[in-house]
Structure 1
Amino acid sequence: MLPQLFAYALNFPIQKFLQAQRKVNVMLCISAAVLVSHTFFSWLLILKLGWGIKGAAITLNISWWLVVIAQSLYIFITKSEGAWSGFTWLAFVDLYDFVKLSLASAIMLCLEFWYLMILVVITGRLKNPIVPVDAISICMNINGWDAMIAIGFNAAISVRVSNELGAGNFRAAKLAVLVVSITSVCIGVIAMIVVFATRDYFPYMFSKSLPVAKETTKLAALLGFTVVLNSLQPVLSGVAIGAGWQSLVAYINIVCYYVFGLPAGILLGFTFKYGAEGIWSGMIGGIVLQTIILIIIISVTNWRNEAEQAASRVKKWGGTIASEE
């Protein structure tokens, strides 16, 4: 899996570069083509050749590197309509500020992604953990599928907010936050309804074990609530990225997730003997607290001041303000 990690390191900056220019259709075409090849290689290596998990790892490595190579070729060949004119020493001007922002963003996102992954690890410390871990893993898969939609909104709103603030259109930035938040939550509510309606059936997509299926059904209520929360939370994080609040949100994540949510989950799961449901419930509390704090911050933010700060950064790094042209 190590080659895949290096592909991640290249893929995400390239994606942001293309998203900032609204080259979403290019990324869509590349991803669709790679998905087709990924399906073929998965069948070939996992089923036809019988390589199992090893084949799955090889397929993922190939697919992620194909995405990186294809996107890089597009940038190098088209020059992105003047957005990138080639390598230059000017790229290292004010690099320290970019590094600080990148590290803050990485810490912020890692704290968010690791949080739910820790749920599976902690569940593995329960007595007789096999069934609860299997059930939690199934729920995390379902949550991950729905989260892909919210992550798409995360990317869209981060680029939209940064572009609008950079252009001085603070009202448009504020409106975009409202529209995307409502849209994402509505999709999350629909997904929650689907989870509730199929709670007796979807576990069998992943396992034929009756105990695992029953445990997963018991967790459906928590899964549905998590799906709704995770439809809004990535959008709020995207707003933070677009507005440059990564450092602030990183501190908020530490307090909400690891000072409040994680201890609450351990307390409910182990001390009060609620098991996997208790662990998950406590950790949901951390997500709820973080979401409430971000909503309050966004609600009281002076977007005019944010636009002025963004304009000063654009001028500092040699750009132009769209509204002034």
Structure 2
Amino acid sequence: MVCLEWWSFELLVLLSGLLPNPQLETSVLSITLNTANCLFMIPYGLGAAISTRVSNELGAGRPWVARLAVRVVMFLAVSEGLVMGLVLVCVRYVWGHAYSDEEEVVSYVARMMLLIAVSNFFDGIQCPLAGVARGCGWQKIGAWVNLGAFYAVGVPAAYLIAFVLRVGGMGLWTGIICGVVVQVVLLVIITVCTDWQKEATKAQNRVFNSSLPTDLAT
């Protein structure tokens, strides 16, 4: 699940080399990706935590606690996205100086920071939702969601906006944001429609079967 998303962001850097002024575009996209990766660690931690909590609660037969944990982590995710977005907007004119002294790069990074704030907000939502999917054992569903969101929507949209509409590197990042939005919408629908009692029963059955000898479990 995570690799499919990660590779799509890496693909942006490769595509930036095909844009006019590839030195500038590649430099700024690399800085943008590095910044996004640092920010990604916070929601990724929330996703790991909710994955463990949901799986434990479902296995223990407490679906209402698992549902409450999902609500709490989503509140934390939205709060983190808003706070970090505000921080990014405030430091956008100085952040580029941490990587380059060229004014062209610094000003370009400042514009990209606004897009990073948006992508980080949606990433902050999808990470806990992806963690919920892993905790419920929906790895295959999550993989298909990521495959469709990023490679059927995100990457084609990035190419269209950057090369056809000639928006450049900002178009690449805008396109991948479209993929993240689709990913969030799909995961929200799946999570909202979840029958937690049914998932708890499935989890308990898996625990029971795994504790049986192989010949009895089959």
Normalising by structure 2, we get a TM-score of 0.94
Instruction: Report what 2:210 is aligned to.
Output: 317
The separation in 1 between residues aligned to 2:183 and 2:62, in whole angstroms, is 27
Q: Which residue of 2 aligns with 1:226?
A: 119
Match of 1:302 in 2: 195
| Correspondence for 2:73 | 180
Question: Over residues 159-199 of structure 1, what are the superposed CA-to-partner deviations in whole Å (9 max), with x where a residue is unaligned?
Answer: 00000000010011011111011102211211110110111
Following TM superposition, where does structure 1 have runs of at least 4 consecutive aligned residues deviating by more than 4 angstroms?
none
Gaps in structure 2 of 5+ consecutive residues: 213-218
* Alignment gaps of 5+ in structure 1: 1-107, 320-325
Amino acid at match of 2:92: R
Deviation at 1:318, TM superposition (A): 0.6
Shift of 1:270: 0.5
Secondary structure class of the residue paired with 1:125: coil
Q: Distance between the aligned counterparts of 1:261 and 1:272, measured in 2?
A: 15
Alpha-carbon distance in structure 2 between the residues aligned to 1:151 and 1:212: 29
CA–CA separation in structure 2 for the residues paired with 1:113 and 1:181: 22
Superposed CA deviations along residues 202-225 of structure 1, whole A, max 9, x for unmatched, are: 110111111111111121211110
Distance (whole Å) between structure 2 residues aligned to residue 172 and residue 122 of structure 1: 44
Summarize deviations over 1:254-302 as a string: whole Å, max 9, x none: 1111011111110110011111111111111011011011001100110
1:223 and 1:192 mapped to 2: Cα distance? 8
Q: Does 1:152 align with 2:81?
A: no
Of residues 249, 260, 269 in structure 1, which corresponds to 2:162?
269
Tell me the distance in 1 between the aligned counterparts of 2:36 and 2:162: 21
Deviations 1:25-78 (A, max 9, x none): xxxxxxxxxxxxxxxxxxxxxxxxxxxxxxxxxxxxxxxxxxxxxxxxxxxxxx
1:138 to partner: Cα distance:
1.4
Return the letter of the residue paired with 2:49. Answer: A
Aligned residue for 1:253? 146
Work out which of the residue numbers 175, 194, 197 in structure 2 matches 1:282. 175
In structure 1, which of residues 192, 214, 234 is the aligned counterpart of residue 85 of structure 2? 192
Matched residue pairs, number?
212
> Is 1:142 aligned to 2:46, yes or no?
no
| In 1: Cα distance, 2:70 partner to 2:167 partner | 37
Q: Give the match for residue 8 of structure 1.
A: none
Identity of aligned residues (%): 37
Residue 249 of structure 1 deviates from its aligned partner by 1.3
* Equivalent in the alignment of 2:184: 291
Distance 2:27 2:78 in 1: 28
> Counterpart in 2 of 1:79?
none
Q: 2:165 aligned with 1:239, yes or no?
A: no
Inter-partner Cα distance in structure 1 for 2:6 and 2:175: 17
Per the alignment, in what secondary structure is the counterpart of residue 198 of structure 1?
A: helix
Distance in 2, matches of 1:190 and 1:139, equals 18
Amino acid at match of 2:30: S
1:169 aligned partner:
62
Match of 2:216 in 1: none
Deviation at 1:227, TM superposition (A): 1.2
Point out which structure has higher relative CO (alpha carbons under 8 A, 6+ apart).
2
1:152 maps to amino acid: G
CA–CA distance in structure 2, aligned partners of residues 173 and 124 of structure 1: 45
Larger mean CA deviation between 259-268 and 114-123 belongs to: 114-123
Give 1:65-104 correspondences, 5 Å limit.
Answer: none
- The letter of the residue matching 1:222 is L
- 3-state SS of 1:208 partner: coil
